[in-house]
Chain A
Amino acid sequence: MAEILIVDDNETTVEVLKKIIQKMGHNVSSALTLKKGLYLSTIKEFDVVMLDVRLPDGNGIASLAEFQNAPSTPEVIIMTGYGDADGAELAIRSGAWDYIEKPASLPMMTLPIIRAIQYRETKKQKSNLKSLKREGIVGRSPQLDACLDFVAKASASDANVLIRGESGTGKELIARAIHENSARAHKNLVVADCASLPVTMLEGVLFGDARNTFSMDDKARIGLFQQADRGTILLKDIEEMSLAIQKSLLRVLEEHHVRPLGSRQDIKTDFRLIVSTKRGLEELTNEGLFRADLFGKLQSLALEIPPLRERREDILEIALYHSTKICKRYGMGVKGFGPDFVDVLMAYNWPGNIRELIHSLETAHSTALDTSTLFAQHLPLYMRVSVKRSLIKSDDPASLPLMEQEENFPSYKEVRTGAIEKAERQYVINLLSFSGNSIKKACEVSGMSRPRLYELMKKHRIDRHNIIDEIP
């Protein structure tokens, strides 16, 4: 629900607008004079101000900057008289979000409001994400933004978290980010790798072992759940846990007490639980390999991390990040990427996800020790072969079996839409570059309205501040 302020001296217009906006589910305040409007904007946080130009005590456009500088920095929509082209132009030039010509139809009234609110929400989300600690989590794709949104949400809560994703997608990094951004960050993040620990040891490692059969240190057999007191425990690959230990875990989750092996005493521990899995726990539950009651308790907050092949726009940024790290570790200067190297990275399917990308970069860097640029030949052979094979398959329809051709051949509409999207995106990038990242100038040059330009930037996920990186 957004907060909207209407500043207009026409009481009928105010009443009509109020009803429309309230019907949209937002709160409305109103002012019949500029003075009252400015006063309201300083004492209340508004998302959008709908500002008339001709007011009894002054000109709305002349006060535009004052409204925009209010504590909530609202978006301002100017309302001009019908056919007042100069007023409309002046409004946009002065930095208004949009303008409405009065009287306007319902969609003409509501659309700028909806867009302004959506824009503000995106802006808020972005600023929340910017302040997140996200060590090692690299990329700017919408899929990754969704994961970071989840991190922000999960960090603010103490609920159990379930992270699912293919091997190498970065489940542990996401778990670490949740811990680092939570109120428990000053305490331990304890990781238990259920796949690396033999079944016979797992229970003692998790809950403690009072039998002390082999330790040389009395305090040594404190279980990981106790070590995570006031912190977070991450159980990796929970699907590897036996049904017997799942039962014990369920009890620990319900009571927040652990009983070490061989002990009759329960020990209280205040932990936050995060689990990760490569497999669908629902499927395992149906197969009787995972307890349904435990599964229910684990999925208070659940995240599915997308595989790397589904967020290809992040590949290059991740590769650059890890290449710099590898060069630093190897004690060598930073290496550049040759175009064919980038082509293979972008075309490969990455079944092993980010972990496989890091391994292949390590191989490339150790193969290309003396050269300053990495070329495709420095990548593992199996990758290059896989990419070549897939290119031959997709470039030459004649080489495909008939059935496959029919399934893969794109429709005219798909090709046309794809080409338009590509051209549209490139146009906006070039336009912003030409305009020196000035939205105002870009609108003037292109003849597009400000909202339309923002809409295209949003659609193609173009950040004007990073436009230099996007110029081909």
Chain B
Amino acid sequence: MKVILYSPQDYEHGRRLLGIIEKVIPKNLLVVFNMISVLSQGLRGPLSDTVLILCPSCKEEVQELGALRELICDVRTILILPDGERDTIAIGHRFQPRFLTVPTPDFKDVSTVLGKMLHLRD
């Protein structure tokens, strides 16, 4: 089991999310990417046992991540959209995520869903 997190380095929500995820899963199972180009390389390997968490900082970045859709369509994905605007949500659903949400102060929903996904896997 492996968890891949993508979030830009300077994104405040992403940094907070990382701190919360690190409390849920052991560090050796977590791989963090801060750039989409590096993430696309990181996805070129077995992904059957992977949960992917995408936390883009703006709508343009969500669209940019769309280029990786073919790589991640079979991966269990949690997508944290930068906003809850109707068209951002519409783009988000094209990723076929298992869970789609927006940033919250404690990311309780993300940690709960991730916990359940990992538990289901065990």
Show the binding face of A for B, using Cβ within 8 Å. 136, 172, 176, 187-191, 193, 195-198, 200-201, 205, 214-222, 227, 325, 329-331, 358-359, 362-363, 366
Hey, which chain A residues are within 8 Å of B99, CB to CB? 193, 196-197, 205
Contacting A330 at CB < 8 Å: which of B44, B70, B102? B44
With contacts A189-B93, A359-B48, A366-B46 known, is A196 near B84, CB below 8 A? no
A358→B102 contact, CB < 8 A: no
B103 interface contact, C-beta 8 A: yes
Show the binding face of B for A, using Cβ within 8 Å. 43-48, 70-71, 73-74, 76, 83-85, 89-90, 93, 96-99, 101-106, 108-109, 112-113, 116-117, 120
Contacting B108 at CB < 8 Å: which of A176, A189, A214, A222? A214
A227→B113 contact, CB < 8 A: no
Hey, which chain B residues are within 8 Å of A136, CB to CB? 73
Hey, which chain A residues are within 8 Å of B70, CB to CB? 325, 329
B104→A197 contact, CB < 8 A: no
- With both chains docked as a complex, state the minimum distance between the C-beta of B69 and any C-beta of chain A, in angstroms: 12
List 27 A–B pairs whose Cβ atoms lie within 8 Å, in order of A's numbering. Answer: A136-B73, A191-B93, A191-B97, A191-B98, A193-B98, A193-B99, A195-B120, A196-B99, A196-B116, A196-B117, A197-B99, A197-B113, A200-B112, A201-B113, A214-B106, A214-B108, A217-B83, A217-B84, A222-B84, A222-B89, A227-B93, A329-B43, A358-B48, A362-B47, A362-B48, A366-B45, A366-B46
Hey, which chain B residues are within 8 Å of A191, CB to CB? 93, 96-98
A215→B43 contact, CB < 8 A: no
A215→B102 contact, CB < 8 A: yes
**A218–B84 Cα gap in the complex (Å)?**
8
- With both chains docked as a complex, state the minimum distance between the C-beta of B45 and any C-beta of chain A, in angstroms: 7
**A219–B96 Cα gap in the complex (Å)?**
20
- With both chains docked as a complex, state the minimum distance between the C-beta of A359 and any C-beta of chain B, in angstroms: 4
A329→B44 contact, CB < 8 A: yes
Hey, which chain A residues are within 8 Å of B48, CB to CB? 358-359, 362
**A214–B71 Cα gap in the complex (Å)?**
32
B90→A330 contact, CB < 8 A: no
Q: Write the chain A residue with the least CB distance to B91.
A: A188
**A227–B84 Cα gap in the complex (Å)?**
10
With contacts A216-B103, A219-B84, A227-B89 known, is A198 near B113, CB below 8 A? yes
**A422–B109 Cα gap in the complex (Å)?**
57
With most chain B CB atoms within 10 A of its CB, the pick from A189, A195, A196, A216 is A196
B102→A201 contact, CB < 8 A: no
A198→B112 contact, CB < 8 A: yes
Hey, which chain B residues are within 8 Å of A197, CB to CB? 99, 113, 116
Contacting B93 at CB < 8 Å: which of A190, A200, A201, A359? A190
Hey, which chain A residues are within 8 Å of B44, CB to CB? 329-331
Hey, which chain B residues are within 8 Å of A189, CB to CB? 93
Q: Write the chain A residue with the least CB distance to B107.
A: A214
Contacting A215 at CB < 8 Å: which of B47, B96, B104? B104
For the complex of A and B, list the 10 residue pairs with the smallest distance between their C-beta atoms, beginning with the closest. A219-B84, A220-B84, A220-B102, A214-B104, A359-B48, A362-B46, A217-B84, A188-B93, A217-B102, A193-B98
Hey, which chain B residues are within 8 Å of A218, CB to CB? 84
**A363–B116 Cα gap in the complex (Å)?**
25
